[in-house]
Amino acid sequence: MTTTILHNAQLIDGTGGDPVADAVVVIDDGKITWAGAAADAPAIDDSKDPVKVDLGGNTITPGFFDVHVHLSLPGPSGGSPMQEGMVAPSFRYFELIGRLKTTLAAGVTTVRDLMGVDAGVRTAVEYGIIEGPRLLVADRMLSQTGGHADWHLKSGIDGTTLVGGDLVDSVDEARKAARVLLREHVDVIKIASSGGVTSMSDEPGWLGFRTDMVAAVVEEGKAYGGVPVAAHAIGYEGIRAAVEGGVHSVEHGYELDDELRQQMVKNGQFLVPTLLETIHPDTATPQAAAKSAKWHAMAHESIAKSVAAGIKIAVGTDAGLVPDHGANLGELPLLVQYGGMTPMQAIVAGTKTSAECCGVDDILGTVEAGKIADIVVVAGDPLKDISTVADNDKILLVMKQGRAAVNRGAFSI
């Protein structure tokens, strides 16, 4: 058994409890066996030659989540999504290697990819063939013809498959498409119950999947082992269809009203506000740039009301579309700025609550005994300056399953 002892650090354990000023975390074979105040730490048998890591007074947090990414898309610095159609499919898989490493290096140890990455990539990371954050995958996004996943161009070129879309136009078609995805052992089913900013044939305020189609997919997910459904839903009608259809999480949710907020609280549904994608115009298409201003402003006005209503907020960014890969934790300062969260609440959203959204809170999301040792060390005190988590240079150490994946702090580990 290999024992690692992290010490001389502040601990923010992700539960929302008070930080521990002088903390110790003990890791044995990839799992946390003790975490708390140094004064209460158990004696460690030095004959086992434990690795003692002095963290220099910096801050320990749980590994962070991004529950809404698109690793198959390049991000704005990588070019247009349509450029992905100019290369062979095998080349696109090799592109994932850098994106996965960049995301992990940002302090994100678990992601939920909501369109474009299949179960094979998840397995490759799980087996250690490629390095990256733990993956939960949706594979494809389901929408109706002319909806958010329909990338059929006026030229006649159809980019739907390229971006990861799957078009269905009835309850029966939706059920079958869901079953195909479930056969591939996806972790979550992604649907579009509203139009979108990036999509070319619709508007965010337009209704996508109707409530009966949403409910059918939700029923299929429950029947196949309880696989949750995440709904792209920006405008009011799409949000209502998603909420009333019983989805697990509403992605974006910009045009929520108070009645739907209360319904989400009652249902225990999660909101993934993706604020990071609203800071800059969506330049994926000319149509998207034109739509951005209205809907992004609405997102900034909406989120504080959703936080105040008590909706469970998980952290997702749409990285790969508008935000770049590796910018993920820029979402936390925005939850403070626009959502009115405290820095502690934002950290809990990005750890414990996001783990709950992903259904892995029994093993991840907090620094507690019995959990997998996904740990991030942040320079200084993020409770005093939450923007530190968004600066990758201040992510000093990233541990995944007790192993140092990134060590910018040059700690002896």
Give bridge partners of residue 231 from the DSSP assignment.
191, 250
Identify residue 224 by its one-letter amino acid code.
Y
Nearest to 240 by CA among 263, 271, 217, 270: 263
Give the separation between CA 366 and CA 363, rounded to whole angstroms: 8
User: Is residue 100 helix, strand or coil?
Assistant: helix
Nearest to 72 by CA among 16, 120, 113, 20: 113
Given this model, what pLDDT does residue 81 score?
63
The per-residue pLDDT string of the chain (413 residues; one tens digit each, 9 = 90 and over) reads 689 999 999 999 999 999 999 999 999 999 999 999 999 999 887 767 899 999 999 999 999 999 999 999 988 876 666 677 778 888 888 999 999 999 999 999 999 999 999 999 999 999 999 999 999 999 999 999 999 988 777 777 776 777 778 999 999 999 999 999 999 999 999 999 999 988 878 899 999 999 999 999 999 999 999 999 999 999 999 999 999 999 999 999 999 999 999 999 999 999 999 999 999 877 667 777 788 888 999 999 999 999 999 999 999 999 999 899 999 999 999 999 999 999 999 999 999 999 999 999 999 999 999 999 999 999 999 999 999 999 999 999 999 999 999 999 999 98
Given this model, what pLDDT does residue 153 score?
74
For residues 331 and 317, is the Cβ–Cβ distance under 8 A?
yes
- DSSP structure string for 239-286: HHHHHHHT-SEEEE-TT--HHHHHHHHHHT-EEE--GGGGSS---SSH
Convert 75-91 to b/e letters by CB count within 10 Å (16 or more is b). bbebeebeebeeeeeee
- The Cα-based distances of 42 to 45, 56, 308, 401 in angstroms read 10, 21, 40, 21
Given this model, what pLDDT does residue 187 score?
98
- Expressed in percent and rounded to 5, the helix, strand and coil fractions of the chain are 35, 25, 40
Give the separation between CA 398 and CA 107, rounded to whole angstroms: 6
pTM of the model: 0.96
Given this model, what pLDDT does residue 172 score?
98
Identify residue 80 by its one-letter amino acid code.
S
